[in-house]
Homo-oligomer: A and B are copies of this chain.
Amino acid sequence: MEGEKKEYCGLFGIFGHPDAVHLTYMGLYALQHRGQESAGICSSDGRTLQHHRGMGLVGKVFTPEILEELKNPAAIGHVRYSTTGSSNVNNAQPLVVSYARGQVAIAHNGNLVNGASLRRDYEAHGSIFQTTSDSEVIAHIMAKPSHIEKDNPIQHCLNHIKGAYSLLIQTPKALVAARDPQGFRPLCMGELEGATVFASESCALDLVGARFVREIEPGEAVTVTSDGVTAMRFCESAEIAPAHCIFEHIYFSRPDSRIFGDTVHETRKKLGRLLAQRHPVDADVVISIPDSGNSAAVGFSEESGIPLDRGFIKNNYVGRTFIQPFQGQRDASVRIKLNVVQDVIRGKRVVVVDDSIVRGTTQKAISKILKAAGATERHLRITSPPHVSPCYYGIDFPTADELIAANNSVEEIRRHLNVDSLGYLTVEDLHASVSRPGNHYCSACFDGNYPVPIDGKLDKYVMERY
């Protein structure tokens, strides 16, 4: 169920195509699920950068006129979830600045764990900051005179930042795609009619008709200019183990995307099958909470032999503008999004597959709705382990205080949700569902093992307090 966890960003870039800006617009449409609060595109004509950014969905921010004005053969785009109000269009990306070497645009997905300390350092040396985004920190690093002089200044700079980052960096003549040494966030490369394309998820390559080439490797920076494509490692793979965000598979990425070497839909089906093995139950029907439980429910049904059906219908028209009803209309915010199909439920023992439990509010409402619809038994199956720790690498979970599993046992949660049974997966189950070694994934939100050490006082709003 959407709404309780938020990703910060989605990236798209293309170099060497006459329709680069329109293709970026389409690519952002495909990545809209990664950020709905602002969108931006920066393009280059080979000499200068132009950009447009705004609050809201891609379809609202861009008009045909704006796309036409930006029209150039190279472009990068960004969609973002922003934590603050409308006045903060400043925080929209790509961030476009000028420095000693000219213009540069930066689009970032992830969260730096040393962003705040770097900011303090730079401020101490006289820098000013106009946004609360990590991109601005990166821009300052790039502009530092001693860094500019390096043979490979961008790669050099990347060694100064720690944490999660997939980056697109654009100068008038080049486009660079880079990924942190742990490879927390996805970033892939494609090819379209001779042009090089980059995207957070492969679904965006599919939409524009680009061929998937490969992922950007953790610790790698790929540079495209009119002279061609050059790949370079700024951090050797031997030094640092990958730590792909396993939650991208469980929830964030689109099912039709291929990330970290697996297709998300297939991974979720495997999670569903494992759930059926770990927590078998005698039931009449398997249903999912759309859309996040859809893929896993297919796997659960296949493995258990219990028929799959559609117990909830999603309202496709619910947007940000829904006016909350009067006091007393309880569960309205869930019910406006999901309506139960009573014939599927009535008199049935129902297995409900969902991706995770954050606060438990949604699941409690759903349990109640199913009871009212006549379910004789309600069995909740979750395709992840209990969610106990915050994320410092780019996902906006509620604080630990609000995470129900951080403060309650599984049995307590079951009783709270008022379901007949509740089954989670283990971290090992997650590892068994993906094709790379288990220690190549980050599952800190489930086990507290943070692959990149974090400052004890760090919290997600650290930058906003400035």
Complex CA–CA separation, A203 to B466 (angstroms): 36
- Among the 9-residue stretches A29-37, A217-225, A359-367, A417-425, the one with 4 or more Cβ atoms under 8 Å from chain B is A29-37
Is the Cβ of A60 less than 8 Å from the Cβ of B321?
Answer: yes
Contact B294 A310 (CB under 8 A): yes
Least CB separation from A212: chain B residue: B342
- Chain B nearest CB from A430 CB (Å) reads 19
Given A19-B326, A315-B29, A316-B33, residue A129 in contact with residue B340 (CB < 8 A):
no
A126 touches B97 (CB 8 A): no
**Which of A49-57, A183-191, A453-461 sits within the interface?**
A49-57
Interface residues of A in 45-68 (CB under 8 A from B): 51-53, 57-60, 62-64, 66-67
Which residues of B lie under 8 Å from residue A140 when comparing CB positions?
126, 128
**Contact in complex: A22, B325 (CB < 8 Å):** yes
**Interface assignment of A180: CB less than 8 Å from any CB of chain B:** no
- The chain B residue sitting closest to A57, CB to CB, is B317
Report if A323-B67 is in contact (Cβ < 8 Å); known contacts: A145-B125, A336-B26: yes
* Residue pair A340, B255 in contact (C-beta under 8 Å): no
User: What is the bound-complex CA distance between A259 and B134, given in angstroms?
Assistant: 45
Q: A128-B140, A145-B124, A335-B207 are in contact. Are A317 and B99 (CB under 8 A)?
A: no
Asked if A139 is at the interface of the complex by the 8 Å CB criterion, the answer is yes
Q: Which residues on the B side are within 8 Å of A25 (C-beta)?
A: 323
Interface of A: prevailing SS:
mixed
CB atoms of B339 and A310 under 8 A apart: no
Give how many A residues have a beta carbon under 8 Å from the other chain's beta carbons.
Answer: 94
> A254 — which chain B residues lie within 8 A by C-beta?
313, 339
A405 within 8 A of B: no
A291 within 8 A of B: yes
A319-B59 contact, Cβ under 8 Å, with A99-B123, A266-B343, A343-B263:
yes
Contacts A30-B336, A100-B126, A206-B339 aside, 7 further interface pairs with beta carbons under 8 A come to A22-B326, A25-B323, A29-B315, A29-B322, A58-B317, A59-B322, A256-B313
Residues of B within 8 A of A97 (CB): 128-130
Which residue among A98, A124, A128, A129 has the maximum number of chain B CB atoms within 10 Å of its CB?
A128
Which of these binds chain B: A231-239, A301-309, A442-450?
Answer: A301-309
Q: Are A51 and B87 in contact (CB under 8 A)?
A: yes
**CB neighbors of B among A314-348 (8 A):** 315-319, 321-323, 325-326, 329, 332, 335-336, 339-344
Interface residues of A in 87-105 (CB under 8 A from B): 87, 89-90, 95-100, 103
Chain A contacts to B: CB under 8 angstroms: 19, 22-23, 25-26, 29-30, 32-33, 36, 51-53, 57-60, 62-64, 66-67, 69, 85, 87, 89-90, 95-100, 103, 123-130, 136, 139-140, 142-145, 203, 206-207, 209, 254-256, 258, 263, 265-266, 269, 291, 294-295, 298, 301-302, 307-310, 312-313, 315-319, 321-323, 325-326, 329, 332, 335-336, 339-344, 466
Closest 5 CB pairs of A and B: A59-B321, A32-B317, A97-B128, A263-B343, A256-B313
* Nearest-Cβ distance from residue A285 to partner chain B, whole angstroms: 10
Asked whether B255 lies within 8 Å of A341 as measured between CB atoms, the reply is: yes
Q: A30-B339, A145-B124, A339-B30 are in contact. Are A329 and B209 (CB under 8 A)?
A: yes
Q: Could you say which of B67, B144, B310, B329 contacts A298, with CB atoms under 8 Å apart? A: B310
Beta-carbon contact of B313 and A129 below 8 Å: no
Residues of B within 8 A of A326 (CB): 19, 22
Contact yes or no, A26 B207, CB < 8 A: no
Q: Is the CB of B209 within 8 A of A26?
A: no
Residues of chain B within 8 A of A36, CB atoms compared: 317
Which B residues touch A344, using CB under 8 A?
265-266
Known contacts A29-B318, A87-B51, A341-B255; decide if A128 and B124 are in contact (CB<8 Å): no
Smallest beta-carbon distance A129→chain B, Å = 5
